[in-house]
Amino acid sequence: MIRLHDDVHKALAKDDMSSDRILAFSTYMHETIHWWQHVGSHLGFITSISHPALAHVAHRHLNTLVKRNEKFKSIIEYDNYIYSQTGNPNNLEVNRILNYYHDIRYAKAFISDNTNIEIISKDKRFFLHMGRCFHELWSTSIYVLSVSIDPEFNFLPKIKDWSEKFRQAEKQQAPGFVTDSGMTISELGTTAIYEGQARFNQLQYLSIATGDKYSYDDFAEMGMLEGIYVEAFNLFLKYIGIDRPDNLNNSVIGLFLLVCDIAINPVEGFPSDIMDYESFIICSDPGIRFTLLCSFISKDKDKWTTAVQDYSRQEYIDLSEQLCEYIVCLPPLVGSAIVADWAEEHTSIRDLLKEESEMKFKPENLSIRLFTAKYIRFQEDKIKYPNVFCWIGRSMTGKVHKDLDLSVVEKIFNRHQALFIDVIGGEIRPTIFDDHHEENTMETFQTFYAFNTTYDMTFKWITEKGPFKYDYHWLTTKYSDQEMKDWVRNHFKATYSIFPEELKTFDGK
């Protein structure tokens, strides 16, 4: 979902190439890149579906609690209550729910910023080690994905075989697999990498689209190069040992964007199986991958800082393969090829993509099916045009490789717009693609948000203190807050057999 300020929407509506519209489009591109990071990158897809995955794996245990008349909110507070009364947190269902929740939460927090390990490690009850958290994040997401597209695990990683191999990594005391021991960490994570990738693509677009009118210092004076937006780039310069370029249309910027792309696209674990369990954290964590890539580049910085020249598909392949060979990991396009082959070899994926082409999905697990279809479509195009996705800012200016027309780039960009975007006033609406029937799109939109509000309510059940907050008015202005609340309540009851207000909170309400 993309949210834009009203003034950006108004500028985008102009039919000209004014400076206002160019700037507005760069903002829209920046936000679209964030959509790609979450639905198109291998790592982003796994972390994105972990939210509905938690709701799915907790569903059975929550229903068991309801049947036993243990109707309490939040589950975290209920766990604390049990412990205060018995001195022993021995409720099996509660323990399983909270183990899922904390393991997934801690893995995502570490991936977001490795320095979060200082806070995570203080939890002596639920945090065992990061190896377990990574295992849970990947295996839970893949399990829920399998229910929708591959119940027999014919092509998804065989997560049932992972437990014993992860136990072996514990026995070998691999870094990150031992309680209260040191592990490799970096100075950043996806928060900085995502923002750096989006901002520097945006600025490369602005630089070229305005005829190289603006320098790095000019953009800095505009407030576009501050804080989290330059954190990854500054570390990139520091690790390699090079000076900041004055011009954003520069090979160094191209290299930085390539490093970001490789960092957020680990292949081991998903969509490929794990090759080395002891090094799974190092091989899969974007911040560590980013740091290792910079370390390798620093050994021959004169070569690498001028390596990105023509922004071609072949250049992307050659450079990414060389960099990934150093960090002993599969290149991102290997993952894209694996996913693209699914449609060639498996009926379930062909059926899913047919649903996507008509924007008419089976109602079961619709949110996951929709996201998965978009992920697969992304990989189908990325294997053909990896340079476009890696260097989209430059590509959208017409300064693309000589073998690639701007019209082709624009079609790719439009094909992978976010599914939902706000309009002036803030209401969320589905994107109507040219080749999708509007009626089907609207029906899918309604079902998608029915699922997602229930996922969100489940998350609140587990974590939120006090009565439920029905903060969903941003979805639409067509219905009153009470109508939206009743809509959410009814979907919740259809899932859990009770209305949300039947859960007793620990604040006396």
Contact, 332 vs 265, CB < 8 A?
A: yes
Q: What pLDDT, on a 0 to 100 scale, did the predictor assign at position 250?
A: 92
For residue 271, whether the previous peptide bond is cis, meaning omega lies within 30 degrees of 0, is yes
Q: What pLDDT, on a 0 to 100 scale, did the predictor assign at position 477?
A: 67
Q: What pLDDT, on a 0 to 100 scale, did the predictor assign at position 89?
A: 79
| CA–CA dist 12, 4 (Å, integer) | 10
Give the pair of three-digit tokens for residue 380. Answer: 């189908």
Distances (CA, A) of 213 to 63, 209, 221: 61, 9, 14
Residue 70 DSSP SS3: coil
Q: What pLDDT, on a 0 to 100 scale, did the predictor assign at position 216?
A: 95
Residue 268 DSSP SS3: strand
Contact, 240 vs 297, CB < 8 A?
A: yes
φ/ψ of 368, rounded to 5, equals -70, -40
pLDDT by 10s per residue, the chain, length 509: 888 998 999 999 888 778 899 999 999 999 999 999 999 999 999 999 999 999 999 999 999 999 999 999 999 999 999 988 888 878 999 999 999 999 999 999 999 999 999 999 999 999 999 999 999 999 999 999 999 999 999 999 999 999 999 999 999 999 999 988 788 899 999 999 999 999 999 999 999 999 989 999 999 999 999 999 999 999 999 999 999 999 999 999 999 999 999 999 999 999 999 999 999 999 999 999 999 999 999 999 999 999 999 999 999 999 999 999 999 999 999 999 999 999 899 999 999 999 999 999 999 899 999 999 999 999 999 999 999 999 999 999 987 777 789 999 999 999 999 998 988 888 888 888 877 788 899 889 889 988 999 999 999 999 999 999 998 877 776 778 899 999 999 999 999 999 999 999 997 55
- Amino acid identity of 12? L
Q: In this predicted model, what pLDDT tens digit does every residue of 84-120 receive, in sequence order? A: 888 887 899 999 999 999 999 999 999 999 999 999 9
Q: What pLDDT, on a 0 to 100 scale, did the predictor assign at position 434?
A: 78
Beta pairing, strands 428-430 & 420-422: antiparallel
Contact, 484 vs 446, CB < 8 A?
A: no
193 closest CA partner among 328, 319, 34 = 34
